[in-house]
Chains A and B, each alone.
Chain A
């Protein structure tokens, strides 16, 4: 049974002096999936990855690769390979030597090395790059060589430590798609850590959102987006308007909330029996869930005045201020042409459904969006 998971963590804890970097993490990654760990910098995701690679030992808990514990196994004997944040390609070797490095350490014979290196280079789409120096490669090519260098060793799991961070925006968008395709073709399990939600959402089968050393929620990208389980996930994944308020009433499916700035909204009750009347909550509504000039009779609606039109192509939005209470919010502005005439100073009618409104018990701090 255990064999169907390529990688498993059981209650892994890592403390540095009195700082807990990783706090009781458990995960099981099925064979052949693309698993991302998404979190802000300093959330402990790099420490977790370094424990998987063997550069750090967990304070407690167990790590299993293909069902066998790797505690105490040094990094060079673990069947996992890693694509480093800055790639860590060896500058004193050419591309072929970089790719051959791991095979040479295993004592593979020369003919096999040459053959495998050529195969792998072809697989990442750079069949002729072998004799090139690392400095002659473009950013995207370096990326592929760093991956090839690991893949040639047939690892059980490929670890990727924010490898797209150094690329410019256009290339990053391109590499996202390419990485996903590559993983799909070769079927190796990928564990990818990033602070960029778009990378995680686009590429992954499963995403774990990590914060302050813990997993807040693990699920498919759609799940995280539509059904966030915590205020942190609601704030960190996707954009959100965030308001503070207190619970006023409601039933098994809805919660009525008085906003601190005045006004009232109705949010979905997602099994949160702990939210009772009088409790402080944070309310999250995505800008793209709000309809402009929406139909009457929606669950939530209000009138607002446009402060600013932020035109940004498909990602355009409006900054608006509610007429009665004066609180600010952001509303997506679909570029279908229907709202092309909206300009600053206009009054508009906004509405959104209860399904799209989430609330969570108030926390201090937490990442807003």
Chain B
């Protein structure tokens, strides 16, 4: 039965709807759609002299001509995919433990413990890792005290440090959807799997993972997106040689004030993230509104 619409009459209802839609339309057009269209237009022009621009593909050509740029681009993509997989592999057993092994109050407490670190700013978290990993840091001192290392060990400013930080920062966005999807898996399905002769491996492969697929997809998409667009963690933990693509965008925009090529870089990053998210959705047979919404 039609419910609310029936109460209000024709034109007044239309006007009300338009009024209600106004904030949404302003938000989407002024802050999302038009800025991105403009970003695209800016990326397709070349600055001839002050205030004079011409249509040109030079910004994109420059990107492919300069190995540093596209090396950074590919490196960022590969590292992001790797970080996403690592987050999934580390986070899945934890989510499973919270959702299926724990019961009652302990379960809620453990889940909350998972969340609380992430209410703290990413900056603070990264700062923590710097204190742990740096030459004069906690781990280095511990290794020396334990006699494993002879002198101070520098563990900052390398890819492994970046990876540790990225996985740490992304964990929440993997664990939350995984716990909620695993929570909805009926225990009796697992019991039935065992009852029909399955073992831990086959039950996980045939029952648990297919059921968790929407959660896995949504976790991976968000984690990948956040990792790809991250600036803070690679910059602080990776140091000068972190070679993250967002740093290139920042350099073009803020340091070199070359907005045209910065826009092109931004657009390329957007294409990369959309493409990989799209492929991920196709491979896992999910849709965006189901996974995110």
Contact = CB atoms under 8 A, between A and B. Distances in A.
B1 A75 contact: no
B7 interface: yes
A55 interface: yes
A206 interface: no
A74 B7 contact: yes
A278 B107 CA distance: 75
Contacts of B1: 46-47, 50
Contacts of B11: none
Contacts of B6: 55-57
Nearest to B7: A55
B7 to A, nearest CB: 6
A21 to B, nearest CB: 9
A55 B6 CA distance: 7
Contacts of B7: 55, 74-75
A75 B8 CA distance: 11
Interface in B1-48: 1-3, 6-7
Contacts of B3: 55
Interface residues on A, range: under 10
Nearest to B9: A57
In this complex, the member of A46, A47, A56, A75 whose beta carbon has the largest number of chain B beta carbons within 10 angstroms is A56
Interface string A33-46: 00000000000001
A47 B3 CA distance: 11
A57 B2 CA distance: 12
Interface residues on B, range: under 10
Contacts of A74: 7
A74 B8 CA distance: 9
Nearest to A56: B6
Interface in A250-276: none
Interface in B261-291: none
A46 B2 CA distance: 12
A249 B139 CA distance: 105
In this complex, the member of B1, B2, B3 whose beta carbon has the largest number of chain A beta carbons within 10 angstroms is B1
A17 B6 CA distance: 14
A47 B1 CA distance: 8
Interface string A64-76: 0000000000110
Interface in B119-137: none
B12 to A, nearest CB: 12
A363 B56 CA distance: 77
Interface string A151-184: 0000000000000000000000000000000000
Contacts of A75: 7
A45 B6 CA distance: 17
In this complex, the member of A55, A57, A74, A75 whose beta carbon has the largest number of chain B beta carbons within 10 angstroms is A55
Nearest to B4: A55
A75 B3 CA distance: 13
A162 to B, nearest CB: 14
Nearest to A57: B6
A56 to B, nearest CB: 5
A50 B2 CA distance: 11
A57 B6 CA distance: 8
Contacts of A16: 2
Contacts of A46: 1
Nearest to B2: A16
A59 to B, nearest CB: 12
A75 B7 CA distance: 8
Contacts of A56: 6
B243 to A, nearest CB: 55
Contacts of B2: 16
Contacts of A47: 1
A75 B2 CA distance: 16
A30 B7 CA distance: 28
A365 to B, nearest CB: 23
Contacts of A57: 6
A46 B3 CA distance: 12
B9 to A, nearest CB: 9
A47 B6 CA distance: 12
A226 B6 CA distance: 41
A56 B1 CA distance: 10
A207 B285 CA distance: 53
A282 to B, nearest CB: 32
Nearest to A75: B7
A210 to B, nearest CB: 16
B284 to A, nearest CB: 37
A50 B6 CA distance: 11
Interface in A57-110: 57, 74-75
A290 B3 CA distance: 48
A57 B1 CA distance: 13
A46 B6 CA distance: 14
A272 B113 CA distance: 78
A194 B6 CA distance: 23
A56 B6 CA distance: 6
A15 to B, nearest CB: 13
A16 B6 CA distance: 11
A47 B7 CA distance: 13
11 contacts: A16-B2, A46-B1, A47-B1, A50-B1, A55-B3, A55-B6, A55-B7, A56-B6, A57-B6, A74-B7, A75-B7
Given A47-B1, A57-B6, A74-B7, 8 more contacts: A16-B2, A46-B1, A50-B1, A55-B3, A55-B6, A55-B7, A56-B6, A75-B7
Interface of A: 16, 46-47, 50, 55-57, 74-75
